[in-house]
Structure 1
Amino acid sequence: MSSIEAALAAIELLKPGEKLVYTQIAAEYKVDRRTLAQRHQGASSSRELNGQNRRALHPHQEQELLRYVERLTRQGLSPSRPMIRRFASQIAKRELGIHWVDKYIKRYDVNLISKWTTGIDRSRHQADSVVKYTLYFDLLRNKIGQYNMDENGYQVNLI
């Protein structure tokens, strides 16, 4: 417990009606009188609390996002930075800044390691079209129908 927290605890232990003198308590716990008074009156809070309040996601939400990213990575679908930003924006229910992902990765740098995937081969990329898939499966269906036989050896499509 820090000295400022101990001083605040001492103030809370005062009985109702007992005289509160910030100067005496501040001197006893070796803290600044103004800081003690402001914290006690709720005018300011610690930097740690301010940092937690300004975060877009609660630490539990960040951990859940981390598990989701790791699960996607294990499945071979490593999310990009814009994807992580969109996921977090949906959780936070507001648009997050461009650098939010960089700060998030810095906080969890041990757990998030980006990997470059190899590009798709040019011939495979050119072959990847709806028309070509449709043509292939139509040809396949025709051949299966042409040579389809039941258990007795009769051609099913010709009867």
Structure 2
Amino acid sequence: MGAIEDEIEAIQSLDPGEKFSYRKIAATYGVDRTTLSRRHKRVQAPNEAKNINQQKLTPQQEQELVRYIEGLTKRHTPPTREMIQNFASTIAKEPVSESWVTRFIN
């Protein structure tokens, strides 16, 4: 667990109505007061959560795309970028760009 999660846990362990200072708690754990405040108020999500929400495909959909590519390779049909783009767009239910295909391949 990270320092900010430890701090939020410390804040939540306080009795209801008990006064606390974001500044003092942040100084104790050595993290940014603003980040602590935003996370505690659920205004700002952790980076991992934001990254997942910005992905075109879920991890399961990515695995399905990999299996599709592996299946083409086993049949000695080299997958083209266009084939990958079309299949990814189908499973994502929204268009994916050529640059998305390049990033996925890399």
Structures share fold, TM-score greater than 0.5: yes
Q: AA paired with 1:2?
A: G
TM-score, normalised by the number of residues in structure 2: 0.88
1:113 corresponds in structure 2 to: none
Deviations 1:33-83 (A, max 9, x none): 111001111222232322211000111211121112111211112221111
1:58 aligns with 2:61: no
- What CA deviation, in whole Å up to 9, does each residue of 1:113-155 have, x standing for no partner? xxxxxxxxxxxxxxxxxxxxxxxxxxxxxxxxxxxxxxxxxxx
Higher relative contact order (CA 8 A, sep 6+): 2
Alignment-derived partner of residue 155 in structure 1: none
Q: Which has the larger radius of gyration?
A: 1
Q: Structure 1 regions of 5+ residues with no counterpart? A: 107-159
Residue aligning to 1:46: 46
Q: What's the % identity of the aligned pairs? A: 46
How many angstroms apart in 2 are the aligned matches of 1:28 and 1:11? 12
Which has more helix, going by share of residues? 2
Q: Matched residue pairs, number?
A: 106
Q: Does 1:68 align with 2:74?
A: no
The letter of the residue matching 2:40 is: H
**SS of 2:98 mapped into structure 1:** coil
SS in 2 for 1:18: coil
Q: Distance in 2 between matches of 1:17 and 1:46?
A: 26
Stretches (4+) displaced over 3 A:
none
Counterparts of 2:15 and 2:74, CA distance in 1 = 58
- Specify every segment of 5 or more residues in structure 2 that has no aligned partner in the other structure, as ranges: none
Superposed displacement of residue 13, structure 1: 2.3
> C-alpha separation between the residues in 2 aligned to 1:9 and 1:85?
43
Give the distance between the partners of 1:103 and 1:86, measured in 2 at CA.
Answer: 15
Matched residue type, 1:72: L
